[in-house]
Amino acid sequence: MRLNRFDLRAAVAAVLVSLLAGVVGTSQAAPPELDNQKCLSCHAAGKMAIAVPGADGESRELHTVPPDAFAQGVHAKMDCVACHVDITDNAETDHAHRRDPARKAKDCAACHEEMWERAKQDGTAKDRSRLGVVADNIAAYKESFHARKNADDPTRPNASCDECHSSHGFNVPPKDSPQHAEWRLGVPETCGKSCHEESLETFTESIHGEAIFQKKDAKAAVCSDCHSAHAVGNTSLAPFKLAVTAECGNCHEENFKSYKATYHGQINTLGYAYTAKCFDCHGSHDVLAVKNPDSKVHPDNRMKTCKECHNGKKDLPEAPPGFASFQPHGHTGDFDRYPQMWLANQLMVQLLIGTFGFFWLHTLLWFWRELRDRQQGKVRPHVRADAPGLAGDRLAGKHFRRFSATWRIAHLSFALSLMILTLTGIPLFYPDAPWAAPLMKALGGPQVAGTVHRVNAVIFASVFFWHLAYVAVKLARNWKDFRIFGPTSLVPGLQDGKDFIAMLRWFFGKGERPVFDRWTYWEKFDYWAPFWGVTIIGVSGLLMWASTLTATFLPGWVFNVAAIFHSEEAFLAVVFLFTVHFFNNHFRPDKFPLEVVMFTGSMPIAEYRREHALEYERLMKSGELEKYIVDAPSQPMALGSRILGFTLIVAGLTLLTLVAIGFFSSH
């Protein structure tokens, strides 16, 4: 081959420049860079295997690079030596590379982190957001189980980037593309064949593995769905257990929703991992269909599965037979499968709608009419203070004793225990509410909150049963004088119906405001409502508290029904008390902002005369009024009563707000 004059001059110039560089520069010139074509001449897949010494002294074959995969990968435009910067020869004459010990090959994490920092500095981060995702993945990886030093070889991590991603051909296809589906189907083998062979073998036989390997269903769960791709954590720690349960819900939404409605799921949702989760019952890599005889949740195997946790050790007694028929995924929307739950829910829903519909309308009408009367300057009818039998001046500044100390103590105990029951119970009822987890943490966790809840349930029930005994004794002593529908009886009678109709006429401006005797019809409702509420809440709560004893004699669906009755009746009680009851006694215009009679035990005679005019007149005529007249409470007593009253009202409204947030955030 002949060179023309120009080529000759260029060649001579190149030699001179090279010699000059050797003199002026380093004593040994750097060889020309290796290009990708030269690298692939040896490392391309399909080439004859070349054995070289390995790190352990044994020979190993050269790492091969599939040219087609590399050409389609995200690194296709890069030179090999951009990462393998320690290679310093051109490999044209030597069989082995010459490496510069002072130069270390770049690792994936350092390179991408450097690129992201550079993008942030030069203002291109917004346009290169994918780099930020990679940086976040790197940060997660560094904290993961894979980044820890390998137990057998501390010089390397458990898994490095290129072991999962194959840096020479890495390219995650766009989601919803056929290529992405194919890529997902290969994830289990990537994890299994490299490191987790036993897990892969088990997974292959599972319902998830069957969907991946046999049905080629890319939507089925793969390793990275449960373990995550980069933040692979210790499977024995709580964060992983909580996260993997939520991951199950991404595919099994309805089952996850029903699970979260159970005690196990409520505790899990609040951030505590000690109750049963999906994998505790269904398995992890070995999940099988329920109908499969080998499934952990097959009817023949459920008791064995339950006893893995309820084994008689620690705080959990051994699971009784009824546990096997508990419905962890039961819900109220399917009568054919869960008829008991459907019926229980229908009963409680109708009760809620009926109660709130009636009393909220009653409250709104009352409020509207009282405002109208005030605007029109109307005054309430009452019996005159100077009526025959008692001089008016003798009543000045006096009070009427309405409630004894015993009644007041019982009322306060009832109120405090109910509020504490509400406080400790609502995090379980609304575990997804934004306040639920912080509140449960502030209470000391589910175990502490549960203990406090049960202690106050005992107090609440004790006050109730004490009252029954108190009434029974009173009736036994005075049964000859007791009239079941008399004016002092709390038993609803015909007169209450008449009073209610008269109240409705007043609401609509068709009559005067009625006057009442010792007890109004709404006070009687307030009195009798706890008999229903305590029975429903108490019995259902006791069934769940003594779960082992309950399931020894009753089927497991009893717990599903008990949970519905307990939670819905508690909701009814809380919302009714802090809306209707508060209005009737504190928030209606003629009482606002606070009525303290239940704390002081007495009320001004003028107010009593307005509220209970018929009893006032009757006592005056019989000459018995005098024994009920007392001095006004002392200043400290009055102040303390107001402070206590306002404190309870604020507490009640706070609880009502939490319930409202929980209710509307979960519906």
pLDDT at 303: 95
**Beta-strand runs (E) in 344-480:** 398-401
* pLDDT bucket at 383, cuts 50 / 70 / 90: very low
Residue 475 in tokens = 């009736």
The pLDDT of residue 289 is above 60: yes
- The percent of residues above 70 in pLDDT, for the chain, comes to 90
pLDDT in tens, 90-137: 545 555 677 777 787 778 888 888 889 999 999 898 888 888 989 999
pLDDT in tens, 424-475: 999 999 999 999 999 999 999 999 999 999 999 999 999 999 999 999 998 9
The pLDDT of residue 580 is above 70: yes
The pLDDT of residue 487 is above 60: yes
- Give the number of other Cβ atoms within 10 Å of residue 215's Cβ: 9
Q: What is the DSSP string of 373-399?
A: HHHTT-------TT-TTS-GGGGTTEE
* Structural contact between residues 564 and 333, judged by C-beta atoms closer than 8 angstroms: no
Q: Is 614 helix (H, G, I), strand (E, B) or coil?
A: helix
* Mean pLDDT on 496-510: 96
Residue 129 in tokens = 């957001």
- Ranking 176-180, 185-189, 319-323 by mean pLDDT, the lowest is 176-180
pLDDT at 649: 97
Distance between CA atoms of 270 and 452, rounded to whole angstroms? 18
Say which DSSP state 627 is in. Answer: G
Alpha helices in 479-556 (DSSP H): 494-507, 521-545, 547-553
Which helix or strand (DSSP H or E) is residue 179 part of? helix 178-185
Phi, psi torsion values for 323, nearest 5 degrees: -60, -30
* pLDDT bucket at 24, cuts 50 / 70 / 90: very low
pLDDT at 94: 53
pLDDT in tens, 338-349: 999 999 999 999
Residue 309 in tokens = 């946790």
The pLDDT of residue 19 is above 60: no
Residue 660 in tokens = 């409202």
pLDDT at 95: 55
Of the candidates 529, 512, 515, the residue with the CA atom closest to the CA atom of residue 487? 515
Of the candidates 437, 438, 441, 443, the residue with the CA atom closest to the CA atom of residue 423? 443
The pLDDT of residue 178 is above 90: no
Question: Cis (ω within 30 of 0) for the bond into 593?
Answer: yes
Measured at the CA of 327, the angle between CA 326 and CA 332, to 5 degrees, comes to 135
pLDDT at 32: 56
Work out whether strand 59-61 and strand 51-53 pair parallel, antiparallel, or are unpaired. antiparallel
- Ranking 388-397, 547-556, 585-594, 620-629 by mean pLDDT, the lowest is 388-397
pLDDT at 389: 44
Distance between CA atoms of 143 and 145, rounded to whole angstroms? 7
* pLDDT bucket at 3, cuts 50 / 70 / 90: very low
- Ranking 188-202, 286-300, 540-554, 557-571 by mean pLDDT, the lowest is 188-202
pLDDT at 111: 87
pLDDT in tens, 328-338: 999 999 999 99
Distance between CA atoms of 532 and 354, rounded to whole angstroms? 15
